[in-house]
Structure 1
Amino acid sequence: MVRDYSTFLPPSTAMDAPALPMLTRLGWQSFFAQQIDADALTRTPPARVTRVNRTTVHLLGDGIDMVLPLVSDLAVGDWVLLEEDRAAVAEVLDRKSLIKRRAAGHDRQVQLIAANIDTAFVVTSCNQDFNVARLERYLALAFEAEVDPVILLTKPDLSEDVATFVAEAAAISDMVPVLAVNAKSAEVAAQLAGWCKPGRTIAFLGSSGVGKSTLVNALSGTLTAETQGVRTGDDKGRHTTTRRELHLVSGGFAVLDTPGMRELQMTDAADGIADVFSDLADLAGGCRFSDCSHTVEPGCALKAGIAAGDLDPARLERWQKLVAEDAHNSATLAERKSRDKALGKTIKGIQKKSRK
C-alpha cells in the first residue's frame, strides 16, 4: 500500500478548514517536516503536545489522541515523534519558537510557557489592570522567542477614554499592532482574522480576568472555556484558566489559552528586551563611553534626551531594570547549570568507584 505523505505537509493551496489535514490544523509546517524523512514519518508518526500535566502529556496527531508519561523539558506546543508502537516519545523536534520565563520561587528554574507559537496576543484591559511595565515584559518574552506579538485591549465598552489606553500601548513599540476589542462582540473574530489563519498557532497571554478565555471562545465558536469577571474595586482578575492547553478550533488553526501570570521574571531575554527598547538602544549608541551606565557619566545621550524632554525617564528606568534583572537571572541559571553538571560528574565518579 502506498501511503499519501501529503497529509504530513502544509497545503500548497488554500482549503476550507474542514478539509485541512489534521496535522495542518495542529500547526504542522515545513520547518518541522524538514527535520525528518518520509520513512521516519511512517515509523515514528508526529504528534503535538496539547497539554502538560504533572506526570503525563496529552498528544494529538493524525489518528492520534493519547496520554503518555511526561518527558522532561516538554512544553505545550512541542512536536514529538512517537515510537513505532506509539508507547512512548522517541524524539522531540527542534522548536520554531519557545516562550519562557524564570519560574516563581527561589530556585530560579526556567519555566517553559509554550513552544512553536506563531502569534502571541498580549491581552490587557482598559481599566486598572493596564500596566505599561507588564506589557513591556510580555513583549520582550515574545520578541526573544521570535513570536509576533499583538496587544489586545479588552473591555473598551467599560472605559470612557479608550484612545488614551491605545496610545499608551502603541507608544511601547512601533513594531507591535494594538487593537481595542470587545471579547464578547460578534466582530472580534473578524478583527483578529488576519493572524488566525489555517495552520497557524496563536497564544493568549496576560493577567487573570482580562478576557483571554472569552476571546478563545469567540474565536472557536464552539469551545466553552470557563470565564469569570474581575473583582469590583481594584479590577483584579480571578483565575479561571488553571493550565496551559492547546485547542483546535473550527477555523483550522490552534489556540493556546494560558493562566494569568502574576510574576514575569526575565531570563535569557536580552535580545527581546533590546527589541522592545530599540529606540533607547539606538540612542545609547551616541553616548561618549561604550560602557555608559546612563547614570553619572558625561556625554550620555540618554541623559541628554531626558534633559531635552525627548525621553521619558520612567521608560529609561524600566529598561535598565529589565536589563539588570535578565543579566542577574541568566548568570544565576548558568551557575546552577554548572554546579549541576559538576555534581553529576561527581556522582558518576562515585558510582564508578563503587562498582569496582
Structure 2
Amino acid sequence: MTLFPDTTSPVLTDLGWSPFFAEQIEPAENGLVPIRIATVHRSRLIGETGSGQVELGFQQNTGDFAVGDWVLIDSETQDIVRRLDRKTVLRRRTENANVPQLIAANVDTLFIVTSCNDDFNLGRLERYLALANEAGANPVVVLTKVDQVSDAQSYRPQVEALQQGLDVVLVNAKSSDAAIALAPWCGPGQTVALVGSSGVGKSTLLNILADKAADEAQPTGGIREHDSKGRHTTTSRSLHAISGGGWVIDTPGMRTLHVGNVAAGLDVVFAEINQLALKCRFRDCTHAHEPGCAVQAAVADGTLSAERLGRWRKLHEENSANTPVQSGPRGNKSDAWRGKRR
C-alpha cells in the first residue's frame, strides 16, 4: 500500500473522501494528491493519508485550515496546493472577535457531550444544537456519567424536547458499551466530532471509540467536586481513526459558546416557536406584548414554557448582535454590527 493512494482507492473512501470532493478537482490537478488535515498546530500542519501521517508544507496561515479539511498536495514536495471546498464547517464565535474560530470541517455527525451532573444545562445544549444545524452536521446529544445518578433516564425527555427528531444517547463513557451505543454514526467513511465542556468525558469517549492503548490514549481529567467543572485535558483539535471504521475529531472543552451567524440553525432548534409565529396577528410580532400573539398564547395555555421562550429571545438577540450586516456604497460594502458584540 502506497503512502499516497489515488482518488479511487478505498483507503481514501474510508477516510471520508466522496464525490463531493472528487468533483472539485480540475483536469490540470489530476496529478495532485488528496490529503486530510489531521492536526493543526500554530506553525505545523499534519495530514492523514489513510495509510499514515505526513507533515505538510504550506504558504497560508495555519488558522485558515481546520481539522477534517481536504487539501491537494504535490506528492514530491508534500506542499499544499489548495484546500477543497468544505461540505460542512463548524465555527465558534469568540468574544469581541470579528472572525469566527474554526473548530472542524467535513463533519457528518456532531456528538454534543454533556454529563448528568451540574454541567447539564439546557441553554448551553441549545447553543451547540444551533452550531451543528448551521454547519450542516447531524447533532446527537451524548449524556455521560449515567452511572453517577439514580435516574439517568429522566434527562432524556428534557433533551429530546430541545429539537424535533433529536437523537439522544446515554452512556457510561468508561464502558466499552459506549462504542456500541455510538456505532450507528461511526461507520467507514463517516466523521464525527466531540464537543462539550471540560470534564464531561470527551477524551474518555475518544479513547473508547479509537480503542487506544494506554500509552497512546488522550489524557483525561476529573471534575472539581465543589462545582462539577472540568479541567482542560485536550488542548488542540485532532483526527483519530475509530476502531472498526470512521474518524473522530476531538476538541478542547468550551466553557463559553457565543452565537453569531446561526439564524438558520436557531430556526431548527426552535422550530415550534417559528411554527406558532405563523399564526400571530402581526407578521413582525416580537412575541413580547402584541395582541393576537400565538406564541404568548401557547405560553399561557402551557404548551410552550416561558423558560424556553426566554432562551429563544436571548439567543436571537445575541445572534443579531454578533451577526454583521453589509453597509456602505455598492462595490465597497463592509461589515457593520447591530449592537454590542458578546
When normalised by structure 1's length, the TM-score is 0.85
Bigger Cα displacement from structure 2, 107-116 vs 143-152: 107-116
> Pairwise mapping of residues 220-231 of structure 1 onto structure 2 (< 5 A)?
220-222=210-212, 223-231=216-224
Task: Name the structure 1 match of 2:273.
Answer: 280
Alignment correspondent of 1:98: 89
Deviation at 1:70, TM superposition (A): 6.3
Structure 2 gap ranges (5+): 337-342
Match of 1:208 in 2: 198
Tell me by how many angstroms 1:161 deviates: 2.1
Tell me if 1:55 matches 2:43. Answer: yes
CA 1:69/1:235 → structure 2, altered by over 3 Å: closer, same or farther? same
Secondary structure at 1:228's aligned position in 2?
coil
Tell me which residue corresponds to 2:311.
318
Q: d(CA) in 2 for partners of 1:250 and 1:194?
A: 13
CA distance in 1, matches of 2:280, 2:274: 10
Alignment map for 1:131-280 (pairs within 5 Å): 131-222=121-212, 223-280=216-273
Q: What is the alpha-carbon distance in structure 2 between the residues aligned to residue 267 and residue 175 of structure 1?
A: 24
Name the SS for the 1:193 alignment partner: helix
SS at match of 2:323: helix
Cα shift at 1:338: 5.0
Q: Is the 8 A contact 1:9 1:29 kept in 2?
A: no
How many Å separate the matches in 1 of 2:305 and 2:192?
Answer: 33
Shift of 1:256: 0.4
Structure 1, unpaired ranges of 5+: 12-20, 342-356
Q: Which secondary structure does the structure 2 equivalent of 1:282 belong to?
A: helix
Deviations 1:133-179 (A, max 9, x none): 00000011001111001000000010012122112111111221111
1:40 Cα shift? 2.4
User: Residues 294-313 of structure 1, C-alpha deviation per residue, up to 9 Å, x if partnerless?
Assistant: 11111111111111111101
Q: Deviations over 1:163-218 (max 9, x none)?
A: 22112111111221111101111211111111100111110010000000101110
How far apart, CA to CA, are the structure 2 residues paired with 1:216 and 1:107?
Answer: 30
Paired position in structure 2 for 1:350:
none
- After superposition, the Cα gap between the structure-2 partners of 1:33 and 1:130, relative to the gap in structure 1 and judged at 3 Å, is same
For the structure 1 residues 340 and 152, does the alpha-carbon distance in structure 2 shift closer, same or farther, using more than 3 Å as the test? closer
The corresponding residue for 1:348 is none
Identical aligned pairs, as a percentage? 45
Q: Does 1:32 align with 2:3?
A: no
Instruction: Please say which structure displays the higher CA radius of gyration.
Output: 1
Residue 340 of structure 2 is matched in structure 1 by none
TM-score of the pair, normalised by structure 2 = 0.89
Distance 1:200 1:62, change over 3 A: closer
SS of residue in 2 equivalent to 1:231? coil
CA separation in 2, counterparts of 1:233 and 1:79? Answer: 43
Q: 1:193 to 1:338 in 2, by over 3 A?
A: same
Cα–Cα, structure 1 residues 10 and 313, in superposed 2: closer, same or farther, change >3 Å?
A: farther
Contact 2:33 2:72 in 1 (8 A): yes
Distance 1:169 1:340 in 2: 36
Contact 1:205–1:257 (Cα < 8 Å) also in 2: yes
State whether structure 2 residue 54 is matched by structure 1 residue 65: yes
- Quick check: 1:10–1:199 contact (8 Å CA) kept in 2? no
The 3-state SS of whatever aligns with 2:110 is: strand
Report Cα offsets for 1:300-328 as digits up to 9, x if no partner. 11111111111101111111111121121
Aligned residues: 325
Q: 1:345 maps to which residue? A: none
Q: Secondary structure at the match of 1:134?
A: helix
Indicate the SS of the match to 1:194: helix
Q: CA RMSD in A?
A: 2.4
More helix by share: 1
Displacement, 1:38? 6.9
CA distance in structure 1 between the partners assigned to 2:155 and 2:117 by the alignment: 9
**Aligned equivalents of 2:105, 2:207: Cα separation in 1:** 22
1:149 is paired with a residue whose SS is strand
The whole-number CA distance in structure 2 between the counterparts of 1:194 and 1:174 is 19
Which position in structure 1 is the counterpart of 2:68? 77
CA–CA distance in 2 between the matches of 1:161 and 1:249? 30
- Secondary structure of the residue aligned to 1:330 is coil
Q: Counterpart of 1:281 in 2: which secondary structure? A: helix
Quote how far apart the aligned CAs of 1:67 are.
3.5
